């Protein structure tokens, strides 16, 4: 500006206009080398993963996004209409790019149509003709665990919609491995349009073992006996433990918590139900292959123990049955070393998996009762009357296949009714129902109860440590005949 106004004797307005344009032009020109260098570097880097020539690569890249070419064409044509800019080059370049984008659009549409035709041909080729031999191998694989959800529950499993159920399932598998000492198979989740929109079903080896319904947009409020007052809600049953509960609006969460209710979201409801089902059916999830993996893992640190036990003393299938017996009563397999050493110690005395299980339980006594004792080392239990123990002991029948309980149906019903009455009584008082009896009848009494009261723990006197103190909540007496 000063050069033009002072040295060139130009007017101030003319000098400002001239040198402002020259400054902008010089700046643009100075950026051109940098643009060329960066573009060249980008081409060289992107070309490293391609085997085709430069010309073909350009055509492929231009043809990938015809929409971008169309937008660029419109912008360049718009530049050509701006006064002061060269019209002809911009218009020609814009029309050229528009033509290229149109060709690319047509080619993309033709490719899609061709792919559709090819897919139809493959589908027809894969469909067996009437009377032709059918290939069914693809139908044979069966998911061990599968969770099916109605379409209304898809947001819970869709991470794109901030659904956290899949992450909860991964956490459940990790926690189950920590608690029970076994890795459960992957849980496959899929939607099922045949279900109600708000329903979910858990399948074990293709068979339904649990189901429930969820009210999306609501929270589940449960009264664990601490509720101070009633709140409004839609009555329902908590699916995992069949406890009375209410579906409430999310806005009432604070009100329900102040009233003493336990409030959880839909994902927690399903996760809790899933955890309880896995614990209940853990023994069915442990196959021979899973048992071998557990032994292989133990062999990495204690090879001699595994080498002596399998197959020297016991076959793999018998070890599996012992582990399944433990899981059936929710005994953890984390201390697999003690389990295997106990089996190796007592295997020479007999091969009955039930008897071997009792020996293992006695060795795991501290672990079994650890979750039931209080801070003073006291465990609250129900005891069996001498009459009931004698009846069970006299009903045991020994066969070539083992010892079985052979009790008269009427007597068994009376015994179950007596046990149920006492179990419900202590449960209402807030205690975990635990029954203690003599070692000789423990497993038989447990099997009598497990079908009707699977949550009841049955312990023997041999499963108590020297430091354990017993507090009796009552004695189960045989109900009189009706």
pLDDT of residue 91: 85
pLDDT of residue 465: 87
What tokens does 177 get? 């491995």
Domain ranges across the chain: 1-45, 58-128, 145-282, 286-363, 371-476
Topology (CATH level 3) of domain 145-282:
Glutaredoxin (3.40.30)
pLDDT of residue 26: 67
| Cα 6 to Cα 1: distance, rounded to the nearest angstrom | 8
Q: Does the domain made of 286-363 have the CATH classification 2.70.70.10? A: no
Phi, psi of 375 (to 5 degrees): -65, -25
Task: Please give the CATH superfamily to which domain 371-476 belongs.
Answer: FHIPEP family, domain 4 (3.40.50.12790)
What long-range pairs does 357-361 form, CB within 8 A, spacing at least 24? 357/322, 357/325, 357/326, 357/443, 358/439, 358/442, 358/443, 358/460, 360/322, 360/326, 361/326, 361/331, 361/460, 361/463
| Fold agreement (145-282, 371-476) | no
pLDDT of residue 272: 95
Segments in the chain below pLDDT 70 = 1-9, 24-29, 42-65, 121-139, 480-482
């Amino acid at each position: 500006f000063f050069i033009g106004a002072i040295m060139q004797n130009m007017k101030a307005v003319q000098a400002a206009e001239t040198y402002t344009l020259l400054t902008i032009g010089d700046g643009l020109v100075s950026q051109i080398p940098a643009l060329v260098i960066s573009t060249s570097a980008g081409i060289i880097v992107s070309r490293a993963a391609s085997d085709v020539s430069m010309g073909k690569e350009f055509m492929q890249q231009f043809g990938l996004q015809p929409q971008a070419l169309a937008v660029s064409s419109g912008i360049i044509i718009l530049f050509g209409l701006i006064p002061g800019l060269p019209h002809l080059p911009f218009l020609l370049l814009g029309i050229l790019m528009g033509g290229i984008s149109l060709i690319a659009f047509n080619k993309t549409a033709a490719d899609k149509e061709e792919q559709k035709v090819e897919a139809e041909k493959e589908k027809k080729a894969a469909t067996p003709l009437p009377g032709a031999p059918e290939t069914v191998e693809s139908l044979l694989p069966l998911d061990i665990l599968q969770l099916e959800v109605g379409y209304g529950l898809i947001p819970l499993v869709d991470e794109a919609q901030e659904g956290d159920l899949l992450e909860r399932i991964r956490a459940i598998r990790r926690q189950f491995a920590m608690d029970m000492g076994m890795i459960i198979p992957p849980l496959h989740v899929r939607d099922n349009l045949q279900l109600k929109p708000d329903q979910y079903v858990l399948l074990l080896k293709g068979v339904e073992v649990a189901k429930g319904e969820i009210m999306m947009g609501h929270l589940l409020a449960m009264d664990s006996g601490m509720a101070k007052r009633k709140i409004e809600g839609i009555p329902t049953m908590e699916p995992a433990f069949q406890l009375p509960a209410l579906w409430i609006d999310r806005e009432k969460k604070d009100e329900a918590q102040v009233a003493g209710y336990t409030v959880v979201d839909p994902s927690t409801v399903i996760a809790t139900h899933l955890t309880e089902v896995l614990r209940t059916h853990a023994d069915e999830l442990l196959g021979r292959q899973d048992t071998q993996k557990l032994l292989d893992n133990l062999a990495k640190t204690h090879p001699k123990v595994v080498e002596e036990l399998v197959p020297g003393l016991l076959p793999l299938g018998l070890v599996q049955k012992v582990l399944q017996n433990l899981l059936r009563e929710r005994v953890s397999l984390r201390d697999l070393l003690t389990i295997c050493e106990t089996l190796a110690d007592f295997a020479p005395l007999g091969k009955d998996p039930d008897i071997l299980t009792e020996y293992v339980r006695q060795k795991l006594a501290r672990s079994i009762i650890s979750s039931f004792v209080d801070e003073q080392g006291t465990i609250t239990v129900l005891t069996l009357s001498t009459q009931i123990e004698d009846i069970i002991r006299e009903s045991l029948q020994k066969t070539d296949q083992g010892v079985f309980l052979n009790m008269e149906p009427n007597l068994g019903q009376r015994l179950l009714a007596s046990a149920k009455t006492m179990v419900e009584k202590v449960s209402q008082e807030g205690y975990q129902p635990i029954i203690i009896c003599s070692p000789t009848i423990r497993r038989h009494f447990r099997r009598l109860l497990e079908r009707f009261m699977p949550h009841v723990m049955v312990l023997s006197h041999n499963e108590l440590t020297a430091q354990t103190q017993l507090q009796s909540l009552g004695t189960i007496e045989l109900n009189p005949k009706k």
